[in-house]
Structure 1
Amino acid sequence: MSHDEGYGGFAPGSHPSARAVAMRHAVLPSERQVIDLVLEHAEAAIEWTAQEVAERAGVGRTTVMRACQTLGYRGYPQLRVALAAELGASQSPQRGGGAAGLAAEAEAGARAGVRAGAAPVAGSALSEISADVAEAALALGSSTGMLDERSVELAVSAIAGAQRVLVVANGLSAVVASALSMRLTAHGRHAEFIADSLAQQIAARHLSGGDACIVVSGSGANDTSLGAAAAAAAAGASVIAITSFRASALTDAASLSLVIAPSGVTFRSELEHASRVSLMLFAEALVRAVSRATGDPARSARAQTLEVISEHLEEQ
């Protein structure tokens, strides 16, 4: 068994930073102190002992142990190994540890400029945009680290085989749900998205045991979306949560939870910008997985979709 496999329910190989983001809002303040300290000084923390971490964080050694277990590790030695693996996964050996290192690498990539053109001027709007895009790209690479194979397979099978699919979301996640439903429909797996919050709950309550309700919520705490999830569960439908945090009211209510690490490199970044980029990317990939599971009907549906699109294209 590897350092993290089979302990705490996390997907094997998921990085400590991704686990920390997914669990950030559900840990005790004292545990958060430990996690923040270790991730902020990742390279140094690999060499620390559990006692040294406790002294630096101003907590007891037992708190360090609990923090490690919250992230799915048996203890601090296993967390140290995972930190080393995450740092080693970077192509740049000069990158600093933790979120600061990721941000620095993203900024360096932005200042290097686009290969096809001139390098952006430092401090310009283009430089800042390039840095933000590079930073998000780095984070997206590990966004699926919280997923486990069994949950994904079950979710794909449930969506592909459902008699009826309802996609629910509110607030910033609504655009993800809308796109997901349209993409599923275009691939032959008809899915409904209803914008009105009351109508969502009514539609969810009218589902049955052979149906699936996909609830998209970055926070996993949107009251309106939770109401629809509860209504779908009461109707006997499979409730599939797509969210950014592992411990939430939504994951408690769902039959299956697909946790996608947010694209913000830090939890603060996710709160400030509330990006749904990682959820949107996952939604696209999920549609393709469902399409592959559906087989010939999906290929036929895509051909029909392209036929409709071609009829609306004008000569250029």
Structure 2
Amino acid sequence: MGWSGADDAPATARIRALAPSMHAGERRVAEAIAADLATTVESTAQDLADAVGVGRATVVRTAQTLGYDGYPQLRVAVTRELALATPAHAPEDPSLLGRLRRSVSHFASRLDHTVSGLTEEALASVVAALDAAPRVLVVANGLSSPLGLDLHLRLTAAGRPAEFIHDSLAQRIAARQMTPADVCVVISGSGASDATLAVMRAAGDSGAHVIAVTSFARSAVAEKADTALIVPPVGESFRDELLHTSRAALMLITEALVDAVVTHRGRRGVAARDAMLREVESAIRESER
């Protein structure tokens, strides 16, 4: 399985989504490209192969895995990405506030990358499924668990009741009792959670439609899902993902997904939002008494 996201997705976004599951040689090539885009533009496939210590065919296969016809097309894509890159600004501020600003700025510069793995067809399919399903089970474990709870609450507030269960065994039992008309939404940053994969197997055995929201295109979670929404991580590499395990990009996409569901539901979505706001207003008034 290679790149299946948007055709105009930046090369570095594709690398972050695919590199962790590549063969060792291809992964070294991909990481070398991401580490020095400028050198990649000036290098032939043989130059890059020699620098990394692999055969030229490995460089070509890496380009194809990333969704390009060959290495020349990859070089063109890298050139485009460099041309559109945000130029460097003032010297780094070593203060705590300066570090915080750099983190926020870095995330902002990667926002386009967070949606580069998505396609109109996949999004339309997910939104329609969430609207029509009699039952929606949201599954998330470990560091992704808060995102599952957030999605559950937002869907319910939008008039699309959903379930979220913390216990992994209870998740499996609930998934086993689903029907082919139901939807199981799985959120997994790493795409490798054993507990989550067990729930996916149970949901699949029940015939339910399984939707995955994950960071890596060739992860076990992505490959087991009926529909996968790939949200490349905002870090520079898989090492960054291991060290920082940010779920900010996934949170951004799941929140936007709920807004899309509300829009898709038309008057029903508006009515549900109105009812939610009335209840919030009532709760505020009660707290002020």
TM interval, shorter chain, is over 0.9
Instruction: Tell me the equivalent position of 1:101.
Output: none
Contact kept? 1:110, 1:127, Cα under 8 Å? no
Contact kept? 2:180, 2:206, Cα under 8 Å? yes
Deviates more, 1:233-242 or 1:139-148: 139-148
1:273 Cα deviation from its structure 2 partner: 0.6
Structure 2: distance between partners of 1:251 and 1:200: 19
1:130-149 deviation per Cα after TM superposition (whole angstroms, max 9, x unaligned):
11111122122311101122
Structure 2: distance between partners of 1:127 and 1:9: 37
More relative contact order in 1 or in 2 (CA 8 Å, sep 6+)?
Answer: 2
Structure 2: distance between partners of 1:226 and 1:41: 35
Counterpart residue identity of residue 229, structure 1 = M
Q: Which runs of 5+ in 2 are unaligned?
A: none
Instruction: Say yes or no: does 1:68 pair with 2:58.
Output: no
Instruction: Tell me the equivalent position of 1:116.
Output: none
Aligned length: 286
Contact kept? 1:110, 1:134, Cα under 8 Å? no
Contact kept? 1:168, 1:200, Cα under 8 Å? yes
1:195-231 deviation per Cα after TM superposition (whole angstroms, max 9, x unaligned):
1111111111111011100000001110111111111
1:114-155 deviation per Cα after TM superposition (whole angstroms, max 9, x unaligned):
xxxxxxxx3211111111111122122311101122111111
Structure 2: distance between partners of 1:24 and 1:247: 9
1:109 Cα deviation from its structure 2 partner: 6.5
1:286 Cα deviation from its structure 2 partner: 0.3
In structure 2, which of residues 267, 280, 289 is the aligned counterpart of residue 296 of structure 1?
267
1:68-107 deviation per Cα after TM superposition (whole angstroms, max 9, x unaligned):
1111111110100110111122242xxxxxxxxxxxx4xx
1:110 Cα deviation from its structure 2 partner: 8.6
Q: Which runs of 5+ in 1 are unaligned?
A: 1-6, 93-104, 112-121
1:159-197 deviation per Cα after TM superposition (whole angstroms, max 9, x unaligned):
111111010000010100100010011011111111111
Deviates more, 1:51-60 or 1:213-222: 51-60
Which residues in structure 2 correspond to 1:53-132 (within 5 Å)? 53-92=48-87, 105=88, 108=89, 111=92, 122-132=93-103
Structure 2: distance between partners of 1:232 and 1:47: 49
Counterpart residue identity of residue 90, structure 1 = A
Identity %: 42
1:10 Cα deviation from its structure 2 partner: 3.4
RMSD over aligned Cα atoms: 1.6
Instruction: Tell me the equivalent position of 1:193.
Output: 164
Where 1:215 maps in the other structure, the secondary structure is strand
Structure 1: distance between partners of 2:35 and 2:48: 12
Structure 1: distance between partners of 2:242 and 2:233: 10
Structure 1: distance between partners of 2:85 and 2:219: 30
In structure 2, which of residues 177, 186, 198 is the aligned counterpart of residue 206 of structure 1?
177
Instruction: Tell me the equivalent position of 1:161.
Output: 132
Structure 2: distance between partners of 1:200 and 1:8: 31
Which residues in structure 2 correspond to 1:165-244 (within 5 Å)? 165-244=136-215
Structure 2: distance between partners of 1:38 and 1:24: 11
Contact kept? 1:220, 1:250, Cα under 8 Å? yes
Instruction: Tell me the equivalent position of 1:267.
Output: 238
Counterpart residue identity of residue 81, structure 2 = E
Structure 2: distance between partners of 1:303 and 1:52: 61
Distance 1:8 1:18, change over 3 A: closer
Instruction: Give the TM-score normalised by the residue count of structure 2.
Output: 0.95
1:237 Cα deviation from its structure 2 partner: 0.7
Instruction: Tell me the equivalent position of 2:38.
Output: 43
Contact kept? 2:158, 2:273, Cα under 8 Å? yes
Where 2:229 maps in the other structure, the secondary structure is strand
Structure 2: distance between partners of 1:220 and 1:227: 12
1:247-305 deviation per Cα after TM superposition (whole angstroms, max 9, x unaligned):
01111211100000112233221110100000000010000111111111111010000
Contact kept? 1:136, 1:265, Cα under 8 Å? no
In structure 1, which of residues 5, 9, 15 is the aligned counterpart of residue 10 of structure 2?
15
Instruction: Say yes or no: does 1:26 pair with 2:24.
Output: no
Deviates more, 1:51-60 or 1:299-308: 51-60
Where 1:11 maps in the other structure, the secondary structure is coil
